[in-house]
A and B are shown apart, each in its own frame.
Chain A
Amino acid sequence: MIAETGLAALWIAAALALLQACLGLGALGREGAPLMRAVRPVAVVQALMTLTAFGALLLVFWRTDLSVKLVAEESATTLPAMYRIAGAWGNHEGSMLLWVTILALSGAAVALLERRLPERTLAATIAAQAVIALGFFAFLLFSSNPFARLPVPPVEGSGFNPLLQDPGLAFHPPTLYVGYVGLSVAFSFAVGALLTRDVGPAFARAMRPWVLGAWVFLTIGITAGSYWAYYELGWGGWWFWDPTENASLMPWLAATALLHSVTVLATRDGLRAWTVMLAVVAFSMSMVGTFLVRSGILTSVHAFALDPRRGAFILVLLALYIGGALALFGARIATVKEGNRFDPVSREGALVVNNLLLSAILGIVLIGTLYPLAVESMTGEKLSVGPPYFNAAAGPLALILVALVAVGPVMRWRREDVAAVARRVAVPGAITLMALVAVLLLAPGMRLLPLLGLVLAVGTGAASIAPLWKRNLRRTPLFTWGMVVAHLGVSVSLAGMASESAFTKETLVAARPGETVRVGPYVVCFAAIDPVAAENYTAVQATLIATRGAAQPITLQPEQRTFDNPPQQTSESAIATRLDGQLYAVVGEQVPGGRWQLRLWWKPFVTLIWAGGALIALGGALSLLGRTLPRRRPKVEQDGYARAY
């Protein structure tokens, strides 16, 4: 019954989405006010119905109801409780239902909370949101029904991919999805504003909190995903330029650009067309990214096997939504009045450069991600594009972007004097130079990118707090704090990346128990190797004792796990975190002579990468609070230099 309830709720939600779209579009007409009053409750009930369907899915997974096809294929009674639940979104159908649930919830949130947008634009926005939802409801109901039953239930399910059996999975996809799908709100806002030709500061101020919210979740999702790949895959790297990672990075880049351009629109009424464009692009990237990895067109660890008909279905949806929005953009944007102009040397100018750089990086990532596909369809040759391309192409641009973080926030709106800016960045500039000298002296022979990265990280770190200089910290608005914290996060993260890339020490050996290995400052003793057993796997566990000087020895126990259902081997790394870095150990296969492959890394300050990511997200959250909480000091809105983005 539960599965049928879920399916029924899904159908009702789809019908309500259709109704919502009609009401919203109807409200655009002359006599639209009564329709507008009806559209809000409809959006809320639609979200509740979708939530019911998702709850039903969670329940059948929790109970491991094997008569439901999806449960039988993707779960098993032997799984630990947490993965019996998380398994609900660790597969194609379930993750699509989660996607739609978040979509419906954000639609309801807009209907309930949005008060700043003009009524007509809001109606168009809610209609757009419903149209998007409708397509994905159709996709679920017609080709990815998560509630399909099996005529004869099996005795046991096929199990759950062991790589996904990790606490991170419980949070990583939902967080990322809130980010992806949250951007749908910006998309719908843009479509709504195009329909009513109402693009201006009020539109930008209304859209900004939604973009900020989605962006915060996207940042957390990417940071968490990167850490997951780092410790779960056991390859020692934190970013692989895998198509899925790119799929999450591309909307983030677009959203970051949007976040900055929307501020120009909100404060100075400039960059109208560009901001609308970015709002469309950001969610389009979310959809394209989800589609690319899910359809199996690009090979990735995240690709759930998908038959081409489903792929074609999503492709048609994408064509309609993105193509439709871009066509609307082409047709309508010229009739939107041009915004204010500004001097190239100004806060706006710096933000435009920021946007151009972010877009260029986005383009580089997009081209690198699609290039293998293009080559294969033209020549039939298979290839993959890896770090050498992405690092070389995107790295320098990213460094320029980080340098801009030091300068942009201390510039005035409208027009700025170059000499004045130079005076304001003199102290951080001097610190950067000192860092350069220090790095050259202390770590000679560093490669150029990590060297520049490290030096810039120090300089930008100093510059990022410059906007707080000589200010009353208690009266500084929250969104200024947000900007400072997020920009500081960028430099912290960059410092981690540069340090990891330049100073990592790696040792790969085949060792017998009793032998010792050196890695970085540590002497690691291979103490023992033992079999261990857990609920759903058996493993061999190595015990390594690492000592550095007189400090307390660290015990590391990496494992090589063999899961029984489905049969698969995974290696479980062991990581010890110290203030100045992480010791990372992986045990591999047994080799002849009673030896085991051991792979050890010493990664100085690698944790800064994710700490920086967390700071960036925290900064976004502070800004969001600053933008949504009642203003304490309305005066700051006019003050040029002090104003944050």
Chain B
Amino acid sequence: MKTVRILLWLPLVAFLAILGLVSSGLLKPHDTTVVSQMVGKPLPAFTLASARTGEGAVTGKGFADGRPRLLNIFGSWCVPCIAEAPQLMALKQAGVTIEGIAVRDRPGDVGEFLQRNGDPYDRIGLDDQAVLQVALGSSGVPESFLIDGKGIIRAQHIGEIRPEDVPGLIETLKAIR
């Protein structure tokens, strides 16, 4: 009879366990960042028209030449991308090779954006249907991917690059050479 009595409290115990679980879920802030599944995998093949007039198409092939790169996904219509621009210029000054992908954009608008905010990019591909962005597993702009000299995606930076991120990015790019 004793054991039966203890069993009667089991429902309460089970409920308290659920309660604990649910309150931990409630009190923890929700993390909505989407981490790309492409990190650690080779850059997907792509061919995009250049967003700068008079330049040839941008392809994924040129990425495996031994030089690590920062692949920056941006848009002339994106406000955080403006905030990020000085940091990109600083990275370029530190010797980092930066490639750009302009998402859902027009060459004219990209040109204006670069004039106003500076142009740190070696090449800029125009991803007007966001096809490459999706293939990269990127869920928004701005986002940056660090690609090593073999063309493997090694890291993802979600959101704009802030001044305090710059040294770390330079470190990482040196490390993955």
A333 and B8 in contact, given A315-B19, A323-B19, A326-B15 (Cβ under 8 angstroms): yes
Which among A277, A326, A376 is the interface contact of B25 at CB below 8 angstroms? A376
| Interface contact A373-B22, CB-CB below 8 Å | yes
Docked complex Cα distance between A411 and B105 (Å): 73
A322 interface residue per 8 A CB criterion: yes
Chain B residues whose C-beta falls within 8 Å of the C-beta of A280 in the assembled complex:
11
| Interface contact A334-B5, CB-CB below 8 Å | yes
A284 interface residue per 8 A CB criterion: yes
A312 and B26 in contact, given A323-B19, A370-B18 (Cβ under 8 angstroms): yes
| Interface contact A297-B8, CB-CB below 8 Å | no
B116 interface residue per 8 A CB criterion: no
Chain A residues whose C-beta falls within 8 Å of the C-beta of B9 in the assembled complex:
330
Q: Which of A307-333 contact B (CB under 8 A)?
A: 308, 311-312, 315, 318-319, 322-323, 326-327, 329-330, 333
A315 and B11 in contact, given A323-B16, A370-B18 (Cβ under 8 angstroms): no
Chain B residues whose C-beta falls within 8 Å of the C-beta of A327 in the assembled complex:
12
B175 interface residue per 8 A CB criterion: no
| Interface contact B27-A373, CB-CB below 8 Å | no
| Interface contact A330-B24, CB-CB below 8 Å | no
| Interface contact A308-B8, CB-CB below 8 Å | no
Minimum C-beta distance from B139 to chain A (A): 13
| Interface contact B21-A374, CB-CB below 8 Å | yes
Which among A311, A318, A329 is the interface contact of B8 at CB below 8 angstroms? A329
A379 interface residue per 8 A CB criterion: no
B23 interface residue per 8 A CB criterion: yes
Docked complex Cα distance between A17 and B45 (Å): 67
A288 and B12 in contact, given A308-B26, A308-B27, A373-B25 (Cβ under 8 angstroms): no
A377 and B28 in contact, given A315-B22, A329-B8 (Cβ under 8 angstroms): yes
Minimum C-beta distance from A206 to chain B (A): 23
Minimum C-beta distance from B146 to chain A (A): 22
Chain B residues whose C-beta falls within 8 Å of the C-beta of A373 in the assembled complex:
21-22, 25
Chain B residues whose C-beta falls within 8 Å of the C-beta of A323 in the assembled complex:
12, 15-16, 19
A292 interface residue per 8 A CB criterion: yes
Minimum C-beta distance from B127 to chain A (A): 16
Docked complex Cα distance between A128 and B111 (Å): 69
Chain A residues whose C-beta falls within 8 Å of the C-beta of B31 in the assembled complex:
380
Q: Which of B9, B11, B16, B21 has the most CB of A within 10 A?
A: B11
| Interface contact A277-B11, CB-CB below 8 Å | yes
Q: Which of B21-44 contact A (CB under 8 A)?
A: 21-28, 30-31
Minimum C-beta distance from B30 to chain A (A): 8
Docked complex Cα distance between A333 and B12 (Å): 13
Minimum C-beta distance from B24 to chain A (A): 5
| Interface contact B19-A319, CB-CB below 8 Å | yes
Docked complex Cα distance between A318 and B23 (Å): 11
Chain A residues whose C-beta falls within 8 Å of the C-beta of B25 in the assembled complex:
297, 373, 376-377
The dominant DSSP class at the A interface is helix
Minimum C-beta distance from B155 to chain A (A): 18
Which among B8, B19, B23, B26 is the interface contact of A330 at CB below 8 angstroms? B8
The dominant DSSP class at the B interface is helix
Minimum C-beta distance from B13 to chain A (A): 9
Chain B residues whose C-beta falls within 8 Å of the C-beta of A377 in the assembled complex:
21, 24-25, 28
Q: Which of B152-169 contact A (CB under 8 A)?
A: none
A501 interface residue per 8 A CB criterion: no
Chain B residues whose C-beta falls within 8 Å of the C-beta of A281 in the assembled complex:
11
| Interface contact A330-B12, CB-CB below 8 Å | yes
Interface size on A, residues (CB 8 A): 31
Which among B8, B19, B23 is the interface contact of A334 at CB below 8 angstroms? B8
A295 and B26 in contact, given A315-B19, A319-B19, A373-B21 (Cβ under 8 angstroms): yes
Chain A residues whose C-beta falls within 8 Å of the C-beta of B26 in the assembled complex:
295, 297, 308, 311-312, 315
Q: Which of A209-252 contact B (CB under 8 A)?
A: none
| Interface contact A329-B23, CB-CB below 8 Å | no
Chain A residues whose C-beta falls within 8 Å of the C-beta of B22 in the assembled complex:
291-292, 297, 315, 370, 373
Chain A residues whose C-beta falls within 8 Å of the C-beta of B24 in the assembled complex:
377
Chain B residues whose C-beta falls within 8 Å of the C-beta of A329 in the assembled complex:
8, 11-12
Minimum C-beta distance from A320 to chain B (A): 11
Q: Which of B45-89 contact A (CB under 8 A)?
A: none
Minimum C-beta distance from B129 to chain A (A): 10
| Interface contact A326-B11, CB-CB below 8 Å | yes
Minimum C-beta distance from B109 to chain A (A): 22
Minimum C-beta distance from B1 to chain A (A): 8
Docked complex Cα distance between A10 and B101 (Å): 56
Docked complex Cα distance between A555 and B30 (Å): 46
Docked complex Cα distance between A297 and B24 (Å): 10
Closest to A281 in B: B11
| Interface contact B11-A330, CB-CB below 8 Å | yes
Chain B residues whose C-beta falls within 8 Å of the C-beta of A297 in the assembled complex:
22, 25-26
Minimum C-beta distance from B36 to chain A (A): 14
Q: Which of A140-158 contact B (CB under 8 A)?
A: none
Docked complex Cα distance between A330 and B15 (Å): 13
Closest to B9 in A: A330
Closest to A298 in B: B25
Which among B4, B12, B19, B21 is the interface contact of A318 at CB below 8 angstroms? B19
Chain B residues whose C-beta falls within 8 Å of the C-beta of A308 in the assembled complex:
26-27
| Interface contact B21-A370, CB-CB below 8 Å | yes
Q: Which of A600-640 contact B (CB under 8 A)?
A: none
Minimum C-beta distance from B28 to chain A (A): 7
| Residues 131-160 of chain B, each 1 if its beta carbon lies under 8 Å from chain A, else 0 | 000000000000000000000000000000
Chain A residues whose C-beta falls within 8 Å of the C-beta of B4 in the assembled complex:
334
Docked complex Cα distance between A277 and B12 (Å): 11
Closest to B16 in A: A323
Docked complex Cα distance between A481 and B172 (Å): 74
Minimum C-beta distance from B11 to chain A (A): 5
Chain B residues whose C-beta falls within 8 Å of the C-beta of A315 in the assembled complex:
19, 22-23, 26
Minimum C-beta distance from B53 to chain A (A): 24
Minimum C-beta distance from B21 to chain A (A): 6
Chain B residues whose C-beta falls within 8 Å of the C-beta of A376 in the assembled complex:
25
Docked complex Cα distance between A312 and B176 (Å): 45
Minimum C-beta distance from B153 to chain A (A): 20
| Residues 101-142 of chain B, each 1 if its beta carbon lies under 8 Å from chain A, else 0 | 000000000000000000000000000000000000000000
Chain A residues whose C-beta falls within 8 Å of the C-beta of B11 in the assembled complex:
277, 280-281, 326, 329-330
Closest to B5 in A: A334
Docked complex Cα distance between A381 and B8 (Å): 35
Closest to B27 in A: A308
Chain A residues whose C-beta falls within 8 Å of the C-beta of B19 in the assembled complex:
315, 318-319, 323
Minimum C-beta distance from A251 to chain B (A): 15
The 4 closest A-B pairs by CB, nearest first: A326-B12, A330-B9, A297-B25, A311-B26
6 contacts between A and B (CB under 8 A): A308-B26, A329-B12, A334-B4, A373-B22, A376-B25, A377-B28
Listed in ascending order, the chain B residues whose CB lies under 8 Å from chain A are 4-5, 8-9, 11-12, 15-16, 18-19, 21-28, 30-31
9 extra A-B contacts, CB within 8 A, seeds A322-B15, A373-B25: A273-B8, A292-B22, A312-B26, A315-B22, A315-B23, A319-B19, A329-B8, A329-B12, A377-B21
Listed in ascending order, the chain A residues whose CB lies under 8 Å from chain B are 273, 277, 280-281, 284, 288, 291-292, 295-297, 308, 311-312, 315, 318-319, 322-323, 326-327, 329-330, 333-334, 370, 373-374, 376-377, 380
